[in-house]
Structure 1
Amino acid sequence: MALSPAQVRLIDEQAHAARTMWNCLHDWWTMLPKGKRTLAAADAAIRQARKEIDWLAVLPAQAAQAVLKTYFQAWKNCWDGRADEPNFKARFRTVMSVDIPQGRDLAISRVHRRWGMVNIPKVGRVRFRWTKSLPVGKRADTENRITGARLVKDALGWHIAFRATTLEPASMPHPGPQVGIDAGITVPLALSDSEKYDHDEWKSGKDKPNAWLTDTEQAKLLRLEQRAAHRKSFRKRGERTSNRLRADYDQIQQLRARAKRRHQDWQHQTTTEIAAKYSVIVVEDLAITNMTKSAKGTIAEPGKNVAQKSGLNRSISQEAWGRAVTMLAYKTAQRGGSLHKVPAPGTSRRCSACGFTTPGSRQSQAVFVCKNPDCGWSGNADHNAARNILHLYRMGHALVPAAGRAVVRRPRGAKPATAR
């Protein structure tokens, strides 16, 4: 959104009021007995707080009701086992956001091809960048309409995301082939048909700390991090962060947010191309949280190669494999395809030609040479893993989610795939 300084200040106040409303509601909930925790009592408490505390009134009444509904939904998700308990929202560790639950208050209009106008309650008319087609004007009806919006702030400023309900035609079955995908670091996405998708155009130097920034931006980021570390060394424990140090942190966050946007844009373009080409996409069921755990260990049993493991964890987190799988899941469903997951153990060490796992076959990150005397197949290690992933799906080893866990669906009497 293109906001003036006064509008930025107004939306910031609304976001802080919404965060404080959540914290007050959380304290009210945890202090009351279980018998008095009702939606009607919480609604009355919110109304009373808006009357007694002036700066809470900057938040529109509909946005305050949205905070209440979100909080109750968070407890429902906790009781159903889908999430942890709601907790306190800290000032500097919480994403600032404001919800606009009613679409009729927005009054969206298009100025020209790139920009539009929207009405923000208690802020006024605001320009926003028009990036997707919206059901407004003649396109809007009972089945295709805007139902609300959400304002979210990151290091680059305030953004608006519209909620829309649309009626889409049923997708026809996808006529494309099947493919297995192996996610990696050197090659982000390697396919079983020897195709690969990487971002070499951003990697101007080897072992670049952040592959999504230009050389000039990399130099600026390094300079800012060194200056911030130097200024932080003079700050005493418990002392407030200086304005200069906070300005350095803000510039660092802006550069990292820009890199994240570029990576997300590359993932969107890549996953759209893959979903349009293939009917069945098979990926590994990776436990990314376990893969990125630290190797420090304990004082009694310290870990080994801690620095190397931390670098690997950082590289895995930057590739965002889970986000790519999420994009592939809904994009394949929209085009009539499907996405399946198979067990991950052994896919990178098993030979895709003979099916045997022989020690020493995986010679490097990119080379695979089968040590089986009867085989001797050699090729790219990532493509070999992708072929194994596709083979597991064809043998009936796809994972089916059931009751919050993954279950192996295997034909009766079939054994795990080894030799072809």
Structure 2
Amino acid sequence: MKTDGQAHATRTLWNLLHAWWRMMPKEKRSLANADAAIRQAREGIDFLAVLPAQAAQAVLKTYFRAWKNCWEGPADAPNFKGRIRTVMSVDIPQGRDLNITRVHRRWGMVSIPKVGRVRFRWTKDLPVGKRADTENRITGARLVKDALGRHIAFRVQTLEAEPAPRQGPEVGIDMGFSVPRALSDGTVYEHGEWLTGKEKVRLLHLEQRAAQRKRHRRPGERASRRLQHTYDRIAGLRAKAKRRAMDWQHQTTTRIARTYGTVGVEALTITNMVKSAKGTVEEPGTNVAQKAGLNRSIHAEAWGRTVTLPAYKTARRGGTLAKVPAPGTSRRCSACGLTTSGSRESRAVFVCKNPDCGWSGNADHNGARNVLHLYRRGLALVPAAGRAVVRRAKPAAAR
């Protein structure tokens, strides 16, 4: 499909731009010089001609924004994009080029520059036709190809009234493993396995087949079509599990934002929590395998989204999301407020060793109550800011 060629051209243009950035002196690294280099590359390389000029400008803006995020925030510096690990995507920065029409209750048509008319699955109402104006309109789109197929996500700009401050109940959230999300009022949110039993068996069978076929490949030899097809099926199952996890997190955080006016969470430094314990050759680490398993569990539960998702959902409803200091929330007794050694008998049970208290209960529930207590004591950090009024529509499957 032509969109695949545009996606590869987008990745190649990014790599060329990054190579140009590293080669140029600092005094010549400017937006105007980069734009001139891109125009020269598109004229001299026929492969890049399949990419529309506006999409090439979007690559340039994204690259400079990546450097700005690196200089001003905790983001890493941009790097080269590999062919295998990079998501194939093309950005359409201007919405007037899309010419969206709805042809059926479930289907719509959109114009893609240098591709033509493409049919997509209509999954959410869009401001098109008479519903579009200067305040509610489509500002662009993004084509994405992943393991589950091709999708198009429209950027929709809408004008929303500023919500009134909401005076609702307060709640603290603790993130764990035995109970993924525990609330201070006793509510728990749990989930099962993201893949069914048959899907797990199929995934194991595909991984074994891929390992067997990989043994017959010579060093440096490209993967055969059969091996690549096996890799694609493995990626499809893993993408399905990831999408189910995202759906559960969105439903959970939306329910929390609708129910509570103030949500308190732990200010966790997840980047430091998931560092490897291998150490160095001079000072090797201990319990490396156990720490690696813990890191995989933290990544699987996606604790970071428990902060980012409720941040804009509570702000949109007039609520507040506050971060509290994380140290001590899992070892402090929520009944008496004392921290005693040996209170955390196991991962799931907390028993206070204070002879005057002796409270016992679920460890995650105890941590959630401590989070709420810290917020009520005025120890909350800077509240997480809400998003702007610009929101994005759900991705639609292109056919």
TM-score by length of 2: 0.91
Residues 55/126 of structure 1: CA separation in 2 closer, same or farther (3 Å cut): same
Local SS of the residue matching 1:353 = coil
Q: Which amino acid aligns with 2:178?
A: T
Query: Distance in 2 between the 1:73 and 1:294 partners?
Result: 29
Local SS of the residue matching 1:132 = coil
Query: Distance in 2 between the 1:63 and 1:288 partners?
Result: 34
Residue in 2 aligned with 1:194?
A: 186
Local SS of the residue matching 2:382 = strand
Query: Distance in 1 between the 2:182 and 2:80 partners?
Result: 42
Local SS of the residue matching 2:220 = coil
Residue in 1 aligned with 2:348?
A: 366
Query: Distance in 2 between the 1:301 and 1:41 partners?
Result: 47
- Pairing 1:8-407 to 2, within 5 Å after superposition: 9-199=1-191, 202=192, 211-400=193-382
Q: Compare relative contact order (CA 8 Å, sep 6+) and give the higher one, 1 or 2.
A: 2
| 1:67 to partner: Cα distance | 1.3
Deviates more, 1:317-326 or 1:257-266: 317-326
Residue in 2 aligned with 1:417?
A: none
Deviates more, 1:92-101 or 1:27-36: 27-36
Query: Distance in 2 between the 1:382 and 1:96 partners?
Result: 40
Q: Which amino acid aligns with 2:351?
A: V
| Number of equivalenced pairs | 384
Query: Distance in 2 between the 1:147 and 1:180 partners?
Result: 37
Query: Distance in 2 between the 1:163 and 1:104 partners?
Result: 12
Post-superposition Cα deviations, 1:355-409, rounded to whole Å, max 9, x if no partner, equal 111122112222211111001111111111100010011111111289xxxxxxx
Residues 77/378 of structure 1: CA separation in 2 closer, same or farther (3 Å cut): closer
Post-superposition Cα deviations, 1:237-275, rounded to whole Å, max 9, x if no partner, equal 323222222222111111000000011011111111100
% identical equivalent positions: 74
Query: Distance in 2 between the 1:123 and 1:91 partners?
Result: 22
Local SS of the residue matching 2:253 = helix
| 1:282 to partner: Cα distance | 0.3
Deviates more, 1:125-134 or 1:278-287: 125-134
Post-superposition Cα deviations, 1:181-201, rounded to whole Å, max 9, x if no partner, equal 0011121110000000111xx
Local SS of the residue matching 1:284 = strand
Residues 260/40 of structure 1: CA separation in 2 closer, same or farther (3 Å cut): same
What residue ranges of structure 2 are gaps of 5+ in the alignment? Answer: 385-399
Q: Which amino acid aligns with 2:34?
A: A
Query: Distance in 2 between the 1:87 and 1:32 partners?
Result: 16
Post-superposition Cα deviations, 1:132-182, rounded to whole Å, max 9, x if no partner, equal 222112221011100111112211122111112110011122232000000
Q: Cα RMSD between the aligned structures?
A: 1.8
Deviates more, 1:267-276 or 1:133-142: 133-142
| 1:36 to partner: Cα distance | 3.4
Post-superposition Cα deviations, 1:310-341, rounded to whole Å, max 9, x if no partner, equal 22211111111111221110000000001011
Query: Distance in 2 between the 1:98 and 1:42 partners?
Result: 19
Query: Distance in 1 between the 2:167 and 2:378 partners?
Result: 21
| 1:111 to partner: Cα distance | 2.9
Local SS of the residue matching 1:27 = helix
| 1:120 to partner: Cα distance | 1.0
